[in-house]
Amino acid sequence: MPVKRGGRSVVTVEIFLENYEKIKQRASQKRLNIKEYVNDFLQVYLEKEEFLSRVAPFLSVDSYEGNRITLKDIKKKILVDVFYVNGELQCDIDQTNNCIHTKFIWMIPEISKIKTNGNRIKE
């Protein structure tokens, strides 16, 4: 139920303790209070998702396992396997590390599901 606070409508939500502790630490590093930090975080996240659906509305995640993410490409009407190998994303269809599929995966939060086996990005 929204209430008015400081001239804005707000709602109360429950945040899991493990997430709260991380958020609290990051907020303090940025010298923001937790409410400001969480709202900035959510706004940037939502805007990023909206941006991605504007620039690549034809791509979405189908599944992931191990070092692979499979994308659904409805423009080409195919599933595309992309593998994380030696610090790079390799597209199975385009045989490159620099196509729309690899670029898309670098931008999405699901990238955190990839098993990296300790391989870092090459500098």
What backbone phi and psi angles, to 5 degrees, belong to 69? -120, 130
**Least distance (Å) from Zn ion to the CB of residue 57?**
16
State whether the Cα torsion 113-94-100-60 is positive or negative: negative
Q: Which helix (H) or strand (E) holds 39?
A: helix 34-55
Interface contacts to Zn ion, rule CB under 5 A: 91, 93-94, 99, 101
Question: Which CB sits closer to Zn ion, 46 or 55?
Answer: 55
Question: Which CB sits closer to Zn ion, 38 or 80?
Answer: 80
Convert 15-33 into a string of H (helix), E (strand) and C (coil).
CCHHHHHHHHHHHHHCCCC
Question: Which CB sits closer to Zn ion, 35 or 76?
Answer: 76
**Least distance (Å) from Zn ion to the CB of residue 50?**
23
**Least distance (Å) from Zn ion to the CB of residue 73?**
8
